[in-house]
Structure 1
């Protein structure tokens, strides 16, 4: 099972998103974990590689199971760990082989083209306290079949 991390930077009511060249969909910067990495280390490394920025105040906001199906047959499954940073330092890239980087209003997450599971987890990461857990099932063309979401808020 593949493990993926992403990190959403939130600053001044905006989020930093990467528009991927293949579909034109928007994502939070991230990618595959390397052997021996913690999910935190992976999220920070991937974010830095794709943005040229250092994230500050980084914390985990969600853990998700992503399932790709062909009819009832599971053809792929991976885990996604979503982090949020409440500030960044440095000068960002504008465009790389990974896509075009830009700041967008938090509300734009509701309308920008992206996988529906990403829309769910990025809105939660940007707007809510606590953690979110979920399972997203997709077709091989990334059409959402179903989602099951659980939220928790620490009471300390």
Structure 2
């Protein structure tokens, strides 16, 4: 399913749904950031996805990261809560979702990078190379906050 992200766009469609989701900020021992290239919009992003009934939010972060990347993680802290009503996700089936995502910081504990239905590429990106890849502004914000490990969690 194709997706278009609208960020602070006055012409964006009005949302008709909201979904609880997570994203995961994972660094390896060389301080490289785990990222996927999304199959639905082509942007690089942090791994993550929809919360499912019966899970804690941290279990969702662990499951989604492993499903999308092949990397098992252990959640270590909270980066922030992202619920900007000026960020909506329009899908080709007519759903227009207001953003609601909880971003966790985690460390890799096992696995090897592999793609999935939701990720066409899985990469460990050195911090110095992050500016050169195509990342949505809302994800750039999470990355910026993720690198501030001494700051309190962000929330909107």
TM range (shorter): 0.7 to 0.9
Residues matched between the structures, number: 130
Match of 1:36 in 2: 54
Match of 2:81 among 63, 81, 85: 63
2:118 is equivalent to residue 98 of structure 1? yes
CA contact (8 A) 1:27 1:118 kept: yes
TM-score, normalization by structure 2: 0.72
Query: 1 CA distance for matches of 2:45 and 2:109?
Result: 17
- SS for the counterpart of 2:78 is strand
Match of 1:46 in 2: 64
TM-superposition CA deviations, 1:71-114 (whole Å, max 9, x none): xxxx6423111111133312221x22212101101233333211
Give the deviation of 1:69 after TM superposition: 6.7
TM-score, normalization by structure 1: 0.72
- Larger RCO: Structure 1 or Structure 2 (Cα < 8 Å, ≥ 6 residues apart)? 2
CA contact (8 A) 1:10 1:126 kept: no
Superposed CA RMSD: 2.2
Name the CA shift for 1:105/1:40 in 2 (closer, same or farther; >3 Å).
same
Query: 2 CA distance for matches of 1:101 and 1:69?
Result: 25
Instruction: Report the structure, 1 or 2, having the larger strand content.
Output: 1
Unaligned runs of 5+ in 1: 136-156
Runs of 4+ with deviation above 4 angstroms: none
Give the deviation of 1:68 after TM superposition: 4.4
CA contact (8 A) 2:67 2:116 kept: no
